[in-house]
Amino acid sequence: MQAIKDFLTSQTGNDSPDWQQQGSGILTWSVFSIYRATLWTAGPLKLHESQPSNTAFALQFEYLRNVSADYIIDASQREMLRLDSAADTAIAQWIDQLRTIIPDAGRGDLLWILFLPERQEVCFYNDEQLLGSLVSSEFPRAFADIWFHQQCHSPRLRKQLLGEA
């Protein structure tokens, strides 16, 4: 666990020793377990009108089956559109950028999404290797909606990540 805290501290420049696992849960689709997601925060994640208001937080994904990059990206696009997280044109631009960043995920792979709202940036990692980042004033909030919006696709996972279940 200390290695994870050191990784998060090194990537955020946040010297806070308070990085902690807030919650964890498994995303299932029908009878299939897709991934185990874990929310890491420097202090408990604060939601303001269903939106995270922390300066930095991270989601760690341990994939429990093989999932193509296309599936991950298409599911992300569908959810942002369904939640009306941003203008359709902005979402389309972000999706084009994500297609150059997000890899196929194999069973056992660890992928990270590091949200840095103050920098208007979201960074993507395979294990601890930076895959790329997306900088946009609206993207951190819109992308976080996938897991934290009150109307998100998996309210059970949302509660587990927030430590409410």
Q: What percent of the chain has pLDDT over 90?
A: 70
The predicted structure's pLDDT at residue 7: 84
The predicted structure's pLDDT at residue 46: 73
Which band of pLDDT confidence, cut at 50, 70 and 90, is reported for residue 58?
Answer: very high
Report the domain count for the chain: 1
Its pTM surpasses 0.95 = no
Report pLDDT digits (tens) over 27-44: 998 889 999 999 998 877
The predicted structure's pLDDT at residue 126: 96
Average pLDDT over the chain reads 90
The predicted structure's pLDDT at residue 85: 92
Q: Which domain holds residue 100?
A: 2-161
Answer yes or no: is pLDDT of 52 > 80. no
Give the CATH number for residue 93: 3.50.70.10
Report pLDDT digits (tens) over 80-111: 999 999 999 999 999 999 999 999 999 999 99
The predicted structure's pLDDT at residue 102: 97
Look up residue 47 and give its two tokens.
């939601």
Look up residue 147 and give its two tokens.
């897991």
Report pLDDT digits (tens) over 130-164: 999 999 999 999 999 999 999 999 999 999 999 99
Which band of pLDDT confidence, cut at 50, 70 and 90, is reported for residue 19?
Answer: confident
Residue 142 to residues 29, 51, 102, 106: CA-CA distances in angstroms?
A: 22, 9, 17, 26
